[in-house]
Structure 1
Amino acid sequence: MPLFYMQGMPVGAVAILLACVASIGGFIFGYDTGQISDILVMDDFRHRFGHCTNPSDYSTCDFTTTRSGLIVSLLSIGTLAGALAGAPIADYLGRRLAMIAECLLFMVGLIIQLTAFTVWQQVAVGRLVSGLGVGALSAAVPMYQAETAPTQLRGTLTATYQLFITAGILVAYCISIGTRHLPGDSSWKLVIGLGMIWPAMLIFGISFMPESPRWLGSRNRPKDTARALARVYGIPKKEADTNRFVQAEVDEIMNQLEYERAVKAGWIDCFKPRNKTLYRTLLGMSLQSFQQLTGANYFFYYGATVFQGVGIADSFVSQIILGAVNFVCTFGGLYVMERFGRRTPLIVGGIWQAIWLFVFAAAGTAKDPREDERIGKLMITSACLFILGYAMTWAPGIWILIGETFPTRTRAKQGALSTASNWTWNFLIAFFTPFITSAIGFRYGFVFAACNFAGAATVFFFLYESSDLSLESVDNMYNDPKCKPWTSRHWAPAGYSSRYDLVEQTKAAQARKPPLTATEEHNQIEDVEKGGRGAADRGGLVPGGSSHPPTGEESAIRRTPTRINEGEVDRGTTFVEGHGPDAAGYTVPMTKSGPTGGVGVAHKDTHGNAPAK
């Protein structure tokens, strides 16, 4: 049974569990990111793999700029390749099996690192192999979450991926401070070895989760699709083939996929301007690039080194403080992205981050922080306030957008390209940061501040507001010529008075008849575009004249037997079984909270979706 109702829709415990289990993929990435910052300053690691002027004195051992850059950044080269391969692997194997295979690959990389003793290249290669697994997971996990999570919780559940990244970073910092004084190579090998636990947890947990309903639908398995959706909604398995919530979404998924099979997409289709596909490919790649260019990984990869340069006696403690701020504030990010949408938090966050990076860079440039303790404290405070803004906006927001911005037929490939863009800049920052900081010092912060301003401007001028919309409706919005990014918050398909009206009627439309086939609907659209009356004669109403199959809410409108003027529609009443305002039907007043008794029940307070009388 449903765990709870949200905005009138049932949500099962599995919906929460699958988001948390899949997000362990983010924890793996965060843990691997956080550990290298502290391992680089551990005595035994520097003695084994660094350059020592006096081998008997650990304090004389250090890494050359090139060597430290390669050890840190080769993980990113692996993740770049893994992200590109992640989409076709997930399409071929399925989302769950792909994640299992990628976890195993990550564990192979850890074994390579653990068996290294004096050859630093072996550590670097091990991180490269681990990166292949992490990169593929970064493509598969957000895709799986976006395709499986209920629409009304999609933003929050997808953002758990970023929450788990921050948790992994914090855990790595805490483990490192506990092992740093252990004798010999156990100080750093224990940190790496414990990384085996997280992929094992993901392999075990994902084995009990449902497969992506949209992937099952693409394999022409509607019954399995219905069962997967039923588990997400918390509906008993035996009701999967009859429940109206489930069948309505199955119809929508299968209808969309039927259309997509007629217009199969390859990699080249991601760069075609039709239906704003190229626009969204470039937008996704740009946003992922700007997420790296915020400067967050400057602190996560080299934080211990940075804080040593600030004059902090114990940089490990400073790293933990930074990691704790990052983790705790990400919880706020889950609320912010759900409550305020996507555009506003990213714009405000970009400006906030730029301000504090400017303070960080200006303080470090104006005076040597090692000579003035107050300057050092100001820089740490600025770094923490920067991370606060990043954790609540750009960190979770970009991963949410990657799961919901692209059309279904190219979503996997566009997601892979966007994620690959993220990892490309991840590598560039990881590798070149030692060279840049040695040349310009803390002025590096000015570069990231400018990038944050540029990211905020990109969001304002190019990103559409996709909160509260189904994945299919997001596609319609991007293709509406009357909708602009700065007005998109108020967009709703033709036949709806507002975004809120769309959300409410989409929920009520769960009680509708099965939709027309994709072929019939596509023919209706062509008739309207050619100026014909075929669609109208068949009772169709084509919102916006779009050239793609309708979403569930649009189908519900098109099946009304007569064309209705917007002013004649009674927004306070919903009719089921396809009846229009001029026909008899059981009325269901709109509510913002769901019924306690479930579907098919007419409650005394008139809540619920009861059968037509």
Structure 2
Amino acid sequence: MAVLCYVKGLPVGYMAIALAIIASMGGFIFGYDTGQISDILIMDDFLLRFGKCTTPGDASTCAFSTVREGLIVALLSIGTLVGSLLGAPTADYLGRRYAMVSECLVFCVGVIIQISSRHVWQQFAVGRLVSGFGIGALSAAVPMYQAEAAPSQIRGTLTATYQLFITFGILVAYCISIGTRHLGGAGSWRTVVGISFVWPAILSFGILFMPESPRWLTARGRFDEARLSLASGRGVPRSEVEDHFIINREMEEMREAVEYEKSVQSGWVDCFTFERKQLYRTCLIATLQMFQQLTGANYFFYYGATVFKSVGISDSYVTQIILGAVNFGCTFGGLYIMETFGRRWPLILGGIWQAIWLFIFAAAGTAKDPSTDKSIGKLMIVSACLFILGYAMTWAPGIWILVGETFPTRTRAKQAAIATASNWLWNFLLAFFTPFIVSAIKFRYGFVFAACNLTGAVIVYFFLYESSDLSLESVDMMYSDPYCKPWQSGKWAPPGFKSRADLIEQTRAAEQHKPLAAGVEEARIEKTDHTANKV
């Protein structure tokens, strides 16, 4: 173990970066599966095998019915919905790491079903359903594992790598598809699907060398292992673990949280109680997951090739790659933004930005026929790219960060599963009904998404608490404080600290073994007593 760097004066180890990257392969699997279907739907051999053709053997006369296209795309989301709910008990029972390994195996079974499909489209759709079980369970386990194992000062960045790898997976799927589209026969689409085996293999092998979640270990009384897990994330040598200030403080917070949680029975019902704003938090993050889908991003990722074909683009594969590259590249900016500017304001401003460009996209497509007016078609593509720019830097990584850091340890897996299930439910609804809606209102669909983005921004302002720079246990305390309001939460700090900035400064000073400023101890004691009396 070794220190990689210092963030806000606190050490960050190589292992913290490694576990974030390895676990994020779960996001890559999801992104790759999302990106591949858009291009597969327009491949000649896939159309000939599974579409309806007026002239046998002529792919240009083949097409999917609205129902068939919707089911092929959307059954993945039904699988992920079920998988995300099963992911909670799996992650609690097996541990975060072994749960990921088992979920990768389930995904591979689905891939086998897909590539063995010959002429029955239902088999391919069922294969996507089975793969969805694994992807959904991973989507609940990965952000939770990253949030629990990452140092609090870079928790946002490391958790957001899940979304970064989703975008990377989408881009890689687009690039592979453009390379295989001219292969003869089923090789065009089977190659794209078959390469999917590589990604779960990397995740399953790599995660076994990563430390288990320290909070999961603490909840099971394995305190020595939990301490070593924390130390590996901080890059603290084994010889210094026992006396290290940061490790001791985080261990004490986790042990106190676990002791409290042992006194209370934990079940699914506890996710919906009024105690410590459990119902509030469950509904809030589930709602934000819903609005992440209602931003309209997957309208472009699932049906982008079809959309761009309809605006007169001769090679929609190239346009998809451009869109995927914008999505991937801008997510790097999202890592910086979510860590530097917190959670609330990026989501608020991002929602407004996305609404503006979706409104332009919809207005342009409604005002003139983009298939005949090239300038309108170009404006729509630019609008789509600028929408994706904002989405990739705010709502895409931000919501997954919140899933990992908003809930208390004893119900985190279950609440994360419920919130993630909300995402997949709306993912399915959009994937299945989009062909019907587009056939009825065409590009005016963008107005619907623009309104949803504005609504999401309003919800964030009035209901979401600012959780950056706080430990997971402190986030729980903040939501439980009846005197803390969401729009004032950026200044909230745990008992014993005057402000969020004081928390950072005093932790940094302790890490560097500096004496505390005069009067700080007295202020801490006074605030601790005052806060205890209020609660």
Q: Same fold (TM over 0.5)?
A: yes
The structure number with the bigger radius of gyration is 1
Amino acid at match of 2:436: F
Structure 2 distance, partners of 1:257, 1:326, is 39
Relative distance call for 1:495 and 1:258 in structure 2 (3 A) is closer
SS of the aligned residue for 2:333 comes to helix
| Deviation of the 1:44 alpha carbon | 0.2
Q: What RMSD, in angstroms, separates the aligned Cα atoms of the two structures?
A: 1.7
Structure richer in helix, relative to its length: 2
Distance 1:542 1:161 in 2: 39
The equivalent of 1:543 in structure 2 is 531
- The 5 A counterparts of 1:224-243 are 224-243=225-244
Q: Deviations over 1:452-480 (max 9, x none)?
A: 01000100111111111111111221122
**What residue in structure 2 maps to residue 431 of structure 1?**
432
Letter in 1 for 2:531: P
Question: Shift of the alpha carbon at 1:401?
Answer: 0.8
**Percentage identity across aligned positions?**
69
Report the AA paired with residue 46 of structure 1. Answer: L
Per-residue CA deviations over 1:529-551 (Å, capped at 9, x if unaligned) read: xxxxxxx9xx973625476xxxx
Task: Give the letter aligned to residue 293 of structure 1.
Answer: L
Q: 3-state DSSP class of the match of 1:10?
A: strand
> What is the distance in 2 between the residues matched to 1:493 and 1:228?
24
Q: Corresponding residue for 2:519?
A: none
Equivalent AA in structure 1 for residue 160 of structure 2: A
Partner of 1:410: 411
Question: Contact 1:493–1:544 (CA<8 Å) still a contact in 2?
Answer: no
Aligned AA for 1:139? A
Q: Aligned-pair distance for 1:62?
A: 0.7
Matched residue SS, 2:11: strand
Q: Distance between the aligned counterparts of 2:245 and 2:437, measured in 1?
A: 59
Q: Residue 372 of structure 2 aligns to a residue in which SS?
A: coil
Instruction: Show CA shifts across 1:482-508 (max 9, x none).
Output: 221111112224443221002222445
| CA shift for structure 1 position 510 | 6.5
Q: Alpha-carbon deviation of 1:163?
A: 0.3
Letter in 1 for 2:45: D
The corresponding residue for 1:308 is: 309
Aligned residue type for 2:484 = C
Inter-partner Cα distance in structure 1 for 2:125 and 2:313: 28
Work out whether residues 248 and 511 of structure 1, in 8 Å CA contact, stay in contact via their aligned partners in 2.
no
CA contact (8 A) 2:10 2:511 kept: no
1:241-286 CA distances to partner (integer Å, 9 max, x unpaired)? 4433323322221221111101122111111112111111110110
Aligned residues between the structures? 523
* SS in structure 2 at match of 1:4: strand
AA paired with 1:132?
F
| Cα distance in 1, alignment partners of residues 500 and 316 from structure 2 | 48
* Aligned match of 1:356: 357
2:244 paired with 1:256: no
**Residue 276 of structure 2 is aligned to residue 275 of structure 1:** yes
Distance of 1:460 and 1:264 partners within structure 2 = 33
Q: Partners of 1:256 and 1:510 in 2: how far apart?
A: 23
Match of 1:326 in 2: 327
Deviation of 1:237 after TM superposition, in Å, equals 2.9
Q: Please report the TM-score for the alignment, with normalisation by the length of structure 1.
A: 0.83
Residues 281, 407 of structure 2: 8 Å contact kept: yes
Structure 1 match to 2:101 = 100
Read off the aligned partner of 1:123 and give its amino acid letter.
Answer: F
User: 2:87 maps to which residue?
Assistant: 86
Q: How far apart are 1:133 and its partner, in Å? A: 0.2
The amino acid that maps onto 1:207 is L
> Which structure 2 residue ranges, 5 or more long, are not aligned?
514-524
Alignment of 1:2-81 (within 5 A): 2-81=3-82
**Take 1:461 and 1:494, find their aligned partners in 2: how far apart are those partners?**
24
Offset of 1:9 from its aligned partner? 1.5
Alpha carbons 2:245, 2:510 under 8 Å: kept: no
Q: Are the structure 2 counterparts of residues 200 and 191 from structure 1 closer, same or farther at C-alpha, using a change threshold of 3 Å?
A: same
SS at match of 1:467: coil
1:604 match: none
Amino acid at match of 1:445: G
Cα deviation per residue 1:318-363 (whole Å; 9 max; x = unaligned)?
0000000000000000011111111100000000000100000010
User: Does the 8 Å CA contact 1:469/1:503 hold for their aligned counterparts?
Assistant: no
The equivalent residue for 1:496 is: 497
Deviations 1:173-195 (A, max 9, x none): 00000000000000000000001
Q: Which amino acid aligns with 1:541?
A: D
